[in-house]
Structure 1
Amino acid sequence: MEEIVLLGFGGHSKSVIDTIERQNEYKIIGVLEKKEKREAKYRGYRCIGGDEKLEELFKSGIKHAFVTLGFMGKADIRNRIYYTLKAIGFTLPVIVDPSCLIAKDVSIGEGTFVGKGAIINADAHIGKMCIINTGSILEHETKVGDFCHISVGTLLCGQVQVGDNSFIGAGATVIQGIHVGSGSIVGAGSSVVKKVDDNTLVYGKTVKRL
């Protein structure tokens, strides 16, 4: 079993840890975090330092890493960590919970996490470093760009496109064929029935440039 180091010790990390254990493909050696969170622990896993240990770990033979820091309202932190890991040489696997239903022709980019009970239907394409969270449904031919967060219980109908660095809130619905622009936020429970421009907040009846 190959070893993997995780980056980020919050609520999202617990979901990822549970899925990694259920997959039984990687052995978690520990979690990297900033100083104020280094006392955190979960299921026997502990913080083993911060980002400064990455090169040392890679040289020691740890070749796999995974970002377990959530979206946190913006994508740039996860983006920065991803490119730091790639510059060192780490491989970021796709982590998919065994409870998911995923069509055989779906493509999923590196570093993406797919949580419990998610359904991804035929000919869908998911970019790198995405979070496809618990119970979300991505219908046929959906396209989700890089560094996106598709929240719990979200429904993306067929042929929906979501641009890079976007956040779709819990329980939101995006109807058939709609395009959500890059860097946009769709608020929890919203129904999106027309195109969303880049860098736009949609929440209920509110549409606002970010």
Structure 2
Amino acid sequence: MILFGASGHSKSVIDIAESIGERITRIYDDNPKVEAVCHIPVQKFLAEPINANEAWIVSIGNNRNRKKIVEKLTQHFGLLVHRTASVSSWSSLEEGTVIMAKVVINANTAIGKHCIINSGAVVEHDCMLGDFVHVSPNASLAGGVIVGEGTHIGIGACVLPEIKIGKWATIGAGAVIIRDVEDGAVVVGNPGRVIG
């Protein structure tokens, strides 16, 4: 497997791969600031690689930047699920997504492409997450929550059942979301209030 992105997030992705015995062969970056991450060489990305058989993961934490890179690449994307994660067999995970340690994803949940479900997060039954969503550590989505493309759910945030969160919204750390959130909104606090 190949990673694109040599930031701190790539270290977490490498940990997921190692937990399931998946070997990361190399890491590419547009502007590498290090020579290696976890002893894996980092190379400047100059052109399309020849080997099209290896799966790729874009290991960039920023949702917008991750989308920009994905749109440039034509490679086959993989999927990584940490060995300690609990993912219902009745749920679906799309390509490019990474599921970190101690995550719980319950029945009939659909996770889109190139999402990050971070350490200890809970995504309950019947949730639908769009592409490029990031659910931060220890955040919890109750049953039937819908999250639009590119939205970031902050550390420890709680989203009540059946809430709809729009595209490219930001939910602050520890926020408690009790009503629907519009596209692009920034919501913080308990109860959540729009500040931008």
* Residue in structure 1 matched with residue 179 of structure 2 by the alignment: 194
Distance 2:171 2:183 in 1: 12
| Unaligned segments of structure 1, at least 5 residues | none
* Residue in structure 1 matched with residue 110 of structure 2 by the alignment: 125
* Residue in structure 1 matched with residue 69 of structure 2 by the alignment: 81
CA, structure 1 residues 183+35, in 2 after alignment: closer, same or farther (shift >3 Å)?
A: closer
2:20 is aligned with what amino acid?
Answer: Q
Please list, as runs of the form range in 1=range in 2, the aligned pairs for 1:103-122 lying within 5 A after superposition. 103-122=88-107
* Residue in structure 1 matched with residue 55 of structure 2 by the alignment: 64
TM-score (norm. length: structure 2):
0.93
* Residue in structure 1 matched with residue 195 of structure 2 by the alignment: 208
Distance 1:69 1:160 in 2: 25
Distance 2:194 2:184 in 1: 11
* Residue in structure 1 matched with residue 6 of structure 2 by the alignment: 9
Say if 1:65 and 1:85, in contact at 8 Å, map to a contact too.
Answer: no
Say if 2:166 and 2:184, in contact at 8 Å, map to a contact too.
Answer: yes
* Cα root mean square deviation, aligned: 1.4
Which of 9, 15, 18 is the aligned partner of 2:15? 18
* Residue in structure 2 matched with residue 42 of structure 1 by the alignment: 37
Distance 2:13 2:31 in 1: 21
State the Cα distance separating 1:34 from its structure 2 match: 3.4
State the Cα distance separating 1:43 from its structure 2 match: 2.8
Distance 2:31 2:105 in 1: 37
State the identity %. 33
Return the structure number with greater helix share.
1
TM-score (norm. length: structure 1):
0.87
Distance 1:198 1:124 in 2: 21
Secondary structure, aligned partner of 1:134: coil
Secondary structure, aligned partner of 1:15: helix
